[in-house]
Amino acid sequence: MSTTGATADPLAALGSLPGVAESVESVRKAVDRVYGHRVMRRRSNEITSEAALRGARGSAALSGADWALEEVRRRTDFSGDDEARVVGAALRLTAEAGQLLSIWRQSPLRVLARLHLVAAATHGDEVGRPRQAGEQVDEPLIELPPPGADEVHGRLEGLSELIIAGSSAPALVTAAVVHGELLALRPFSSHNGLVARTAERIVLVGSGLDPKSVCPAEVGHAELGRDYLAALDGYVSGTPEGMAAWIAHCGRAVELGARESTAVCEALQRGAA
């Protein structure tokens, strides 16, 4: 992660980049619209459950398993093939995220290790820990060369320190940096995209921006398609313009997730869902 200058709060410095404040305000308005919907006052648990399902579907699609929502809803066995296992991993991570909110600010590396363990659902030596020198990364949809193990460990420690120290930065900025850094590093041998998007969700929920988890950014990232990887290139560049573009992309993804849940609210209101 790069910032525009040395500061005690580098995440807050990113919040001052051109266009970021506008993205933050746009996200806040989109989230407020969902929470202000009359259906949310009576049926928020249903909206949360549906958002979790749609978010998991979107995250799986970005990891190569682009299933129709009804197929995800219908299936009970996710062990049959590679795509089914990806969808199953996304669903498990979505369920696990809510259990880790209280741990995140005290021990983010412990949370990331747990997320990888849940996603991988195996007990190999490489599961639940950052990769070591010589270990390969299985993340075929991200073509950027992964950093070496020493850089991964150093940057993970730096990210952990930032989260534990806290920041005055808007939740969107913190969530975007956590997401971007994990995608850039690909610290685990597999499932890094799924873990990164789940970590973004944890930040958005735990920060209080989306406390009921009804604005699934994963839906927006999937809807934006190729723009997701193009925006990641901007993050990896470390330039102010690239960082701002990545944060704006993540903001747009949250807005699209909010729009998705607003549509669910309206369908429930009409009795059509």
pLDDT of residue 7: 60
Using only the alpha carbons of the chain, give its radius of gyration. 18
Average pLDDT over residues 136-142: 88
pLDDT of residue 250: 98
Residue 99 and residue 113: Cα distance in Å, rounded?
14
- Considering the chain, what percentage of its residues have pLDDT values greater than 90? 89
Average pLDDT over residues 71-96: 94
Cα separations in angstroms, 19 against 24, 25, 130, 135, 272 = 9, 10, 34, 39, 38
Average pLDDT over residues 119-138: 91
**3-state SS assignment for residue 241:** helix
| 151 close to 130: Cβ distance less than 8 angstroms | no
pLDDT digits (tens, 9 = 90+) for 62-80: 999 999 999 999 999 998 8
pLDDT of residue 273: 47
| pLDDT class of 237 with cuts at 50, 70, 90 | very high
Residue 72 and residue 91: Cα distance in Å, rounded?
9
Average pLDDT over residues 44-64: 97
| pLDDT class of 5 with cuts at 50, 70, 90 | very low
| pLDDT class of 140 with cuts at 50, 70, 90 | confident
pLDDT of residue 3: 41
Average pLDDT over residues 190-211: 97
